[in-house]
Amino acid sequence: MSQAAISIENISKAYKIGLETKHDSFKSVALDFLKNPRKRFQSRFGDAEEDAEDTYWALKDVSFEVNRGEVVGLIGRNGAGKSTLLKVLSRIVEPTSGRAVMRGRVSSLLEVGTGFHPELTGRENIYLNGAILGMKRDEIKRKFDQIVEFSEVGKFLDTQVKRYSSGMYVRLAFSVAAHLDPEIMIVDEVLAVGDQAFQQKCLGKMGDVMRQGRTIVFVSHSMDNIAALCNTVIHMKKGRPSPKLTMEEGVRSYLDEASASDNLPLDQKPRTQAVKHDPIFYRLATRTEAGESVTVPVGGSVTFDVSMRGFSDVPGNLTLGIGLSNVRGQRVALFHSEYHQGKTFRGADDMTLSCIVPNLPLAPGSYSIDLVLADGFNMIERVERAGALEVLFTDYFGTGKLPTGKQSNLILPCSFSN
Amino acid sequence: MSQISMSATVQPTLVPARPAAAAPSGVETIIKPKQGWIGVDWAELVSHRELLAFLVWRDVKVKYKQAIFGSAWAIVVPLVQVLIYSGIGILAGFSTRTNGDAPYTVWMYAGLLPWLFISAAISSGGLSLINNQTLLSKIYMPRLFIPAAMIGSSFVDMLMSGLVFCGTMAFFILKSNFHWWPNWHIVFVPFLTLLLIITAMGTAFLLSALTVMFRDLRFIIPFITQLGIWLTAVAFPQTIFVFKHADGTVTDYRPWLALNPFAGIIQAFRWAITGEPLQVLQLTSSIIFGVVLFIFGAFYFKRVERRFADIA
Q: Quick check: is A314 in a domain?
A: yes
A232 and A283 part of one domain: no
Q: For residue A87, give the CATH number of its domain.
A: 3.40.50.300
A191 and A229 part of one domain: yes
Q: Tell me: pLDDT of A185 over 50.
A: yes
Q: Quick check: is A288 in a domain?
A: yes
Q: Quick check: is A360 in a domain?
A: yes
Q: Is B4 on the interface with A (CB under 8 A)?
A: yes
A103 and A243 part of one domain: yes
Identify the domain boundary among A257, A280, A311: A257
Angstrom distance (rounded) from CA A29 to CA A33: 6
**Contact between B309 and A93 using a beta-carbon 8 Å cutoff:** yes
| Cα B108–Cα B112–Cα B116 angle in degrees, nearest 5 | 170
- Residue B129 DSSP code: T
Mean pLDDT along residues B151-156? 92
Give me the residues of B, 137-176, that contact A with CB < 8 A. 137-141
ipTM > 0.85, yes or no = no
A336 and A210 part of one domain: no
Q: Quick check: is A331 in a domain?
A: yes
How does pLDDT run across A194-234, given as a tens digit for each residue? 566 777 777 777 777 777 878 889 888 767 677 777 888 99
Question: What mean pLDDT value characterizes chain A?
Answer: 82
Q: Which domain holds residue A191?
A: 4-12+57-257
Q: Quick check: is A43 in a domain?
A: no
Q: Quick check: is A417 in a domain?
A: no
Query: Given this model, what pLDDT does residue B36 score?
Result: 65
A234 and A302 part of one domain: no
Q: For residue A308, give the CATH number of its domain.
A: 2.70.50.60
A145 and A205 part of one domain: yes
**Contact between B140 and A89 using a beta-carbon 8 Å cutoff:** no
Shortest CB distance from B5 goes to which of A43, A119, A134?
A43
Q: Tell me: pLDDT of B151 over 60.
A: yes
**Contact between A24 and B213 using a beta-carbon 8 Å cutoff:** yes
A286 and A341 part of one domain: yes
Which carries the bigger pLDDT value, residue A339 or residue A227? A339
Per-position DSSP letters for A334-383, written without gaps between them: EEEHHHHH---B---SEEEEEEEES---BPSEEEEEEEEEEETTEEEEEE
Residues of A in contact with B5 (CB under 8 A): 42-43, 46-47, 49
Shortest CB distance from B50 goes to which of A2, A14, A131?
A131
Identify the domain boundary among A239, A257, A275: A257
A236 and A312 part of one domain: no
Q: Quick check: is A399 in a domain?
A: no
A247 and A178 part of one domain: yes
Identify the domain boundary among A208, A225, A257: A257
State how many domains chain A has: 2
Shortest CB distance from B32 goes to which of A99, A111, A160?
A99
Distance from CA of B147 to the nearest CA of A (A): 15
A243 and A336 part of one domain: no
Confidence band (pLDDT; 50, 70, 90) for A111?
Answer: confident
Residues of B in contact with A20 (CB under 8 A): 310-311
**Contact between A104 and B25 using a beta-carbon 8 Å cutoff:** yes
Phi/psi at B29 (5° precision):
-115, 130
**Contact between A115 and B135 using a beta-carbon 8 Å cutoff:** yes
Interface size between A and B, measured as CB pairs under 8 A: 171
Confidence band (pLDDT; 50, 70, 90) for B136?
Answer: confident
Residues of B in contact with A136 (CB under 8 A): 50
**Contact between B10 and A102 using a beta-carbon 8 Å cutoff:** no
Residues of A in contact with B309 (CB under 8 A): 87, 92-93
Which strand (E) or helix (H) includes residue A297? Answer: strand A295-297
For residue B131, the chain A residue with the least C-alpha distance is: A115
Confidence band (pLDDT; 50, 70, 90) for A262?
Answer: low
Confidence band (pLDDT; 50, 70, 90) for A165?
Answer: confident
How does pLDDT run across B245-275, given as a tens digit for each residue? 888 888 888 888 888 889 999 999 999 998 8
A249 and A365 part of one domain: no
Q: Quick check: is A24 in a domain?
A: no
Distance from CA of A152 to the nearest CA of B (A): 24
* Helix runs in chain B, H state only: 3-6, 42-47, 49-65, 72-92, 104-120, 126-127, 133-137, 145-175, 189-213, 217-231, 261-274, 280-311
Q: Tell me: pLDDT of B25 over 80.
A: no
Query: Given this model, what pLDDT does residue A32 score?
Result: 61
**Contact between A20 and B5 using a beta-carbon 8 Å cutoff:** no
Angstrom distance (rounded) from CA B84 to CA A25: 37
A78 and A227 part of one domain: yes
Phi/psi at A23 (5° precision):
-75, 145
Distance from CA of B14 to the nearest CA of A (A): 9
**Contact between A25 and B213 using a beta-carbon 8 Å cutoff:** no
**Contact between B5 and A99 using a beta-carbon 8 Å cutoff:** no
Residues of A in contact with B27 (CB under 8 A): 103-106, 183
The model's pTM:
0.71
Angstrom distance (rounded) from CA A44 to CA A32: 9
Q: Is B62 on the interface with A (CB under 8 A)?
A: yes
